[in-house]
Structures are given as C-alpha cells and as structure tokens.
A and B are shown apart, each in its own frame.
Chain A
Amino acid sequence: MSHTPFIVGSYLIALVLLGWCALAPVLQSNKLKRFILSRQLFTEEKDASDS
C-alpha cells in the first residue's frame, strides 16, 4: 500500500487547519476595523451636521 496519499493528506490537513487558524483573525479584524472606521465617519458627519 502506497504511503504517499496518507503523507500528503496529513500535510494538507495541517496546511488547511493552520492556514485557517492564521487567516480567520486577520479577516475578522479587517472587517472590524472597516466597521469601526465607518461608524467613526458616521458619528463625525452627525456631529458636524448637528452643531
């Protein structure tokens, strides 16, 4: 029985899982930063129009 598919499978699983582990917080923080900035702009416009 060839061992190659098992070796490749293992390294692929590690790549996928670690890749997701590394990427997920990056993507989420980008989303969060965009949201905070947009809310910041919104409140600035609101303050400007109120005063």
Chain B
Amino acid sequence: MSHRTGASKAFLALVRRDLLLAFRRRSEMMQPLLFLLVVVSLFPLGVGPSPDLLGSIAPGVIWIAALLATVLSLDTLFRSDFEDGTLEQFAISGHPVTVIALAKIMVHWLVAGLPIVLLSPLLALWMNLPMDALDVLVITLLLGTPVLSLVGSIGGALTVSLKRGGQLLSLLVFPLYVPLLIIAANAVSAAVAGLPYSGQLGLMGAGLIAALTLAPFATAAALKLSLE
C-alpha cells in the first residue's frame, strides 16, 4: 500500500462525504424521524388516551415505530449512489466493498438511527412509559438501532437495482428484525415491571457484535451482485 490510500483512509473519506451529503439534504433526513413521531402519536388516537394502556404497550410501540422509521430510511442508503454510478466507482476503486458498505452503514446509523435514540425520551413521554425505565429504553435503542442499520443494509443492497425495490425491502427485512424486536421490547417491559433485564441487554450486545462482524459481508456480496 505504498502509493494507494489504505482502507481506513477510504473509510473515513467516505464517512465524511456521506455525512456532508446527508446534511445538505436535511429535509430528506428529517422525513423518517417525522414519520417516527407521527406513528407514535397515532397510537393514542387509535387505542385511546388511557395512560395505563399506553404505558403497558409503550415498549413495543416505540420499538415498532423505530423499526418502521428505519425501514423507511433504508431505501435511500444506496440508491442515489447506485443511480448516478458512484457506487460502481467505489466498487471498482480497489478498496474492499465491505469497508465501503460499513462506512455507509455507519453514516446511516448516525443520520437515521442515532436521532431515534435522541428522540426516545419524547416518545416515552407520549406513551406514558415510566420514567425509571427510560434509561433501559435508551440503552436498547443504542444497542439495537445499529443492528437495524446493519441488517437492513443487506436488504437495501439486494433491492437497490430493482425499480420498486423499496416496497420489497420492507417485506424482506421485517422477519429478520423479529428477534430484535422481541428481546428489546421485553427488556424495557421487564424494567418497567421491576424484573431483571440484564440478560436481554447482554443478548442484544451479542447480537450487535454478531451483526457488526457478519452483516457487512452479506451487504458487500449483495452490492456486488446488484452492480453487475
């Protein structure tokens, strides 16, 4: 690697570029987050404003809304770069496609996942989640939203070359999200009920590590396939 840039330099350059692009299209960035807020606020309208009812379904509702908002933002992960040929340039640049995928996934999380974590106190307030469970909610979201981005990127890469990829994308990733939803929502519910939740969090941590090590390879394979 004497005259070429190393993979880590490429990674940072790509992260910087994507962050810059995301901030330039701030309104596009906001839409999934707005969707998150709207979806959560629909629940009281649908099931009634009873604080007890809302509190009892709060963990699940917040997590489902996070899932939906993430899926909404996944389609744009690779699409614009794919359509103008930039993705192809990245792929033939000689840098490992896994590193490229990881860079884009990280930016996706920073731009779409982290804001969900930051908005969660507001969602907890709306859904009448007991405030002493808020820290557990935030931890589950911190551990879980990267997994949403990682696993979702596989679906995004598989559907990027398809015309109506976005619709299919949601169908593809939802079954893969089921275990995450179950464990995360349960961790928060357990915290609310005063039951132990460290096991669930441990599992989520393990899941994050597994996704971090495995998903980029699947995403890279899917990207190479879509670019053919």
Chains A and B directly touch (beta carbon < 8 Å)? no
